[in-house]
Structure 1
Amino acid sequence: MDTSDILKKVRRIEIKTRGLTNHVFAGEYHSAFKGRGMSFSEVREYQFGDDVRAIDWNVTARFNHPFIKVFEEERELTVMLLVDVSESSSFGTQKQRKRDLITELCAVLAFSAINNNDKVGVVFFSDGLEKYIPPKKGKSHILFIIRELLSYKPKKKGTNITETLRFFNNAAKKRSIVFVLSDFLSDSYQDALNIAAKRHDVVGMHVYDPRDKELPAVGLIQVKDAETGLQQWIDTNDKQVRDYYNQQFSQHAQYCRNAFLKSGAELISIRTDEDYVKALQTFFLNRT
């Protein structure tokens, strides 16, 4: 895509995802992700039903009438998007590629965050760290992130979730909301995920294509591993071949589910031909 095409696509994504955050997810993001604590706001006169534990005894004694302390949530949070830009994310056979879906999900989450005055940062990763965009506020920052998601060309092809989580664990100085958006075609990231989930609020977004899971019976075809470059001919009419392919996907998916469950983090699975709005709504509502 040239620059004009990228800008047009940024605009389309902005219109769609800002509409979702303003009308569909309004308030749900705020309820799902709590602030860092409560800070004192003001005092007001006691009203029937107020918690007596909130009475400000100094002000009450001064005016000879009960007053209570009012607290408000310290809202500002930092949202970090850890985005898989490996070659496997470019795969797609239905409505869109995995990377297209990941871009829209990032845009929805980012606009939801800035609507709540939160900062948003991004880590692009493949075999290791590809690009780091520090957390900032504002619409222009989010549009920059979307442009980068659309135009960035990774230097490497593979997927290394462990190194990405290690980088983030070392770089992040305060607790953040962390979304890891990937097809998770990588194993052995349990230890790094455990550490991240203890320090941060971690949510995995497992994005996959229907053909990641099942092969159609279309005869002899040549397939290529997007990350290793390995090519081979396979007979898709052979049920054993199709069963093995499905088994490999299921093993990766099960490892992913177990890893997030053991760490105390959360995981959402979203398929490229499904409506991600319903999946996000369910997730947000389940956290409230």
Structure 2
Amino acid sequence: MDIKAFLTHVVQLEIRIRKAINTQMHGNFSSVFKGSGLEFSDLRQYHYGDDVRHIDWNTSSKGHGTFVKLFKEEKEQTVFFLIDVSASGTVGRLGNSKMKTLKEVAGVLAFAAIQEASHLGFVCFSDKNEKYMPPAMGKKHGYKVISELFRVKPENTTTDLKAGLTFALQTLKRKSLLFVLSDFIDEGYEDLLRAAALKHDLVVLHTLDQQEIQLPSMGIVPIYDPERKRTTWVNTSARGFKQLLQQQVKNRGGDLKEMCKRWHADYVELRSGEDFVPALVKLFNARR
């Protein structure tokens, strides 16, 4: 697939999502990408009946009267993508890898965001930042974001979710809509994911491949780990191995989903090579 075909595919998927949401009588699609908070605008003298919680005590203490803070609604929102492009994302059948799915999902969400005049940015990471585009506004920038996502070819193979989350937390100074897209095959990132959920509006997009859930019985075969670049011989027909594999995948997804629920973050499970439009429609409807 070339960049033109990728963009066409992304636009078609976004149109499907927009139509599905806008025809289900649940509100307007654009509300998902609009700012929902308040930002400081100005000061004025206190009037009887004003909310005392809005009094600016620093200004009032100067002796020129009591002043309250005025706020205005945030009309624009920063949408930021943290995308795992480590080698475990290459797993998949018939060219439908987990990484391909993540790029398509990010592309669709990015295209939807630029239609709503959001500031848009991303970082693709392995165990280092492979590609970073700071948040900016405008359709020209939005199309560049989608094009760069398509072209990303990671240099490193291993995963460091902690470093990726740390970068996002340090880069995004104000509350943003933060999408984290990964297979989450890593350890020790939970505290930083929780910090991201507390500071930002967090959406976790967890990608899986059917081969990880149900490996076919092929006897004793070599399994190559693309991140560690190491081959291990395993008996894929052994019941114990199959149960262990399924349990590990189930635990990872279950733990992640439970954490997101506890932290009031959104969780979406994606299967590589499968139609992800229904999952995104469900996410958008839930977020309204």
Q: TM-score, normalised by structure 1?
A: 0.80
- Partner amino acid for 2:108? V
Q: Which residue number corresponds to residue 171 of structure 1?
A: 171
Q: Which runs of 5+ in 2 are unaligned?
A: 40-70
Q: What displacement does 1:146 show?
A: 2.4
Give the C-alpha shift of residue 11 in structure 1. Answer: 3.5
The equivalent position to 1:17 in structure 2, one of 13, 20, 36, is: 13
Q: How far does residue 135 in structure 1 lie from its aligned partner after superposition?
A: 1.1
Provide structure 1 residue ranges, at least 5 long, that are not aligned to the other structure.
40-70
Q: CA RMSD in A?
A: 2.4
Secondary structure at the aligned position of 2:121 is classed as strand
Q: Where does residue 128 of structure 2 map in the other structure?
A: 128
Give the Cα separation in 2 of the matches to 1:14 and 1:244: 37
Q: State how far apart, in whole Å, the 2-side matches of 1:129 and 1:25 are.
A: 34
- Distance in 2 between the 1:18 and 1:194 partners? 29
Amino acid at match of 1:111: F
8 Å Cα contact 1:86-1:157 kept in structure 2: yes
User: For 1:14-68, what per-residue CA distance to the aligned partner results, in whole angstroms no more than 9, with x for missing partners?
Assistant: 44234335534556542335524479xxxxxxxxxxxxxxxxxxxxxxxxxxxxx
Write the distance in 2 (CA, Å) between the matches of 1:117 and 1:72.
18
Secondary structure of 1:244's counterpart equals helix
Query: For this pair of structures, how many residues does the alignment match?
Result: 253
Instruction: Output one character per residue of 1:113-167: Cα deviation in whole Å (capped at 9) or x when no partner.
Output: 1111111100111113222101122333232222222221212111111111111
**SS of structure 1 residue aligned to 2:127:** coil
1:226 aligns with 2:226: yes
The residue identity in structure 1 corresponding to 2:107 is A
Aligned identity (percent) is 33
* AA aligned opposite 1:16: Q
1:272 has 2:268 as partner: no
Report the counterpart of residue 102 of structure 1 in structure 2: 102
2:54 aligned residue: none
Secondary structure of the residue aligned to 2:286 is helix
Matched, 1:195 2:195: yes
Once residues 216 and 286 of structure 1 are traced to their aligned partners in structure 2, the CA distance between those partners, rounded to angstroms, is: 36
Given the two structures, how large is their TM-score scaled by the length of structure 2?
0.80
Equivalent AA in structure 1 for residue 170 of structure 2: N
The code of the aligned residue for 1:13 comes to H
Change (3 A) 1:188 1:95: same
Q: Do the aligned partners of residues 126 and 38 (structure 1) sit closer, same or farther apart at CA in structure 2, a change above 3 Å counting?
A: closer
Q: Deviations over 1:234-281 (max 9, x none)?
A: 221111111121122223223322332333322110112432111111
Matching residue of 1:180: 180
Letter in 1 for 2:9: I
Q: How far off is 1:111 after superposition?
A: 1.4
- Of 133-142 and 166-175, more deviation after overlay is shown by 133-142
Select between 248-257 and 73-82 the one with higher mean Cα deviation: 248-257
CA distance in 2, matches of 1:244, 1:197: 30
The whole-number CA distance in structure 1 between the counterparts of 2:166 and 2:250 is 26
Q: 1:85 to 1:28 in 2, by over 3 A?
A: farther
